[in-house]
Amino acid sequence: MPSERFYHQAVVYQHPLAFLLGLEGIALMRAFNGDYDEEFTRARIAEIRALLDSAGQFGEGVETPPVTTAEGYAAWSGAYDGQIGRAHV
């Protein structure tokens, strides 16, 4: 089945512009639900236009192996957890 390739990929393609557009999309969905007004919605649409107009500044995306939440935390926590108790400036 062709749609299975979306669920069992050996790599994940991540592009910074796609991430930013997705965040804008979430904001627009909340506005569509009534959480925000027309001004907010128009500003998000303008931001999307600006992002698309400057798409080249984000570079190319990358392919990376999928990582579970537990795997990601295990890889990251040593650096973060080691900071607990230290003064942060």
- Range 69-84 average pLDDT: 81
Is residue 80's pLDDT more than 90?
A: no
pTM of the model as a whole: 0.68
6 pLDDT band, cuts 50/70/90, is: low
List of residues 6+ apart from 62 with CB closer than 8 A: 13, 14, 15
Is residue 60 classed exposed, middle or buried when 0-12, 13-18 and 19+ CB atoms within 10 A define those classes? exposed
The distance of Cα 70 from the centroid of its chain, to the nearest Å, equals 19
43: confidence class by pLDDT, cuts 50, 70, 90: very high
Strand partners, 50: none
Q: In which band, very low, low, confident or very high, does the pLDDT at 85 lie, cut at 50, 70 and 90?
A: low
